[in-house]
Amino acid sequence: MKLSIIGATLALVLCGPASAADKAPDEAGAMNLLKASKCMTCHSIDKKKDGPAYSAVAEKYRDDPEAVATLTDWVSNIHPVEIDGEEEDHGVVKTKDAAKIDNLVKWILSH
Ligand code: HEC
C-alpha cells in the first residue's frame, strides 16, 4: 500500500504539468506577425540587413532580465532609428494582442 502511494507520487512529480508555462514560442505565429508587420524588409533571422539579425538581438539580450519588457516596448511603440544616416520611425507590430507580441519577443530571444 505504502509503496503504491510513493509510486503514484513519483509519477506525478516526474510527469506533472510543469512544461506548459515554458513551452517553446510558436514559430508560425511569430513569422506570420513579422510578415504582416513588414519586419522582414529590414531584418532576417541570422543576417544583418538595415536592422540587426534577430540572432544578434538575442545575443545582445542574452543576460538581460529586462529583455522581454524592453523588446515588447521596442516593437509595440514608435522609436526613431537611423538607417544610412537618415532618421526613420522603427516598425511597429500590426497587432494589439499582448499574447501575440509576447510570443514574438520570446521567439526573437530564442535565436
Ligand atoms: C525600416 C527598417 C526596419 C523595420 C521595418 C523594422 N526594423 Fe527593427 N530595427 C531596425 C534597425 C535599424 C534597428 C537597430 C536600432 C538601433 O540599434 O538603434 C532595429 C532593431 C530592432 C530590434 C532590436 C532592438 C534593440 O533594443 O536592440 C528588434 C527586436 C527589432 N528591430 C524588431 C523589429 C520588428 C518586430 C519589426 C516589425 C514590427 C521591425 N523590427 C521592423 C530597422 C527596422
Q: What is the chain's pLDDT, residue by residue, as a tens digit (111 residues)?
A: 666 655 555 554 554 444 445 689 999 999 999 999 999 999 999 999 999 999 999 999 999 999 999 999 999 999 999 999 999 999 999 999 999 999 999 999 999
Query: Using CA atoms, how far apart are residues 43 and 111, in angstroms rounded to an integer?
Result: 13
Q: How far is CA 46 from the centre of its chain?
A: 15
Query: Using CA atoms, how far apart are residues 45 and 110, in angstroms rounded to an integer?
Result: 11
What are 22's three cell numbers?
Answer: 515554458
How many angstroms does the Cα of residue 19 sit away from the middle of ligand 1? Answer: 31
Residue to mutate (ligand 1; options 81, 82, 95, 106; most atoms within 8 A of CB) = 81
pLDDT at 37: 98
Residue 71 beta carbon below 6 angstroms from any ligand 1 atom:
yes
pLDDT at 83: 96
How many angstroms does the Cα of residue 23 sit away from the middle of ligand 1? Answer: 25
| C-alpha distances out from residue 64 to 61, 68, 109, Å | 5, 9, 11
How many angstroms does the Cα of residue 89 sit away from the middle of ligand 1? Answer: 10
pLDDT at 23: 80
Backbone φ and ψ for 89, nearest 5 degrees, come out as: -80, 135
Count the neighbouring beta carbons within 10 Å of the beta carbon of residue 75: 20
Query: Using CA atoms, how far apart are residues 107 and 93, in angstroms rounded to an integer?
Result: 14
pLDDT at 1: 63
Q: Whose CA is nearest to atom 37 of ligand 1?
A: 39
How many angstroms does the Cα of residue 52 sit away from the middle of ligand 1? Answer: 7
pLDDT at 4: 63
Q: Whose CA is nearest to atom 42 of ligand 1?
A: 51
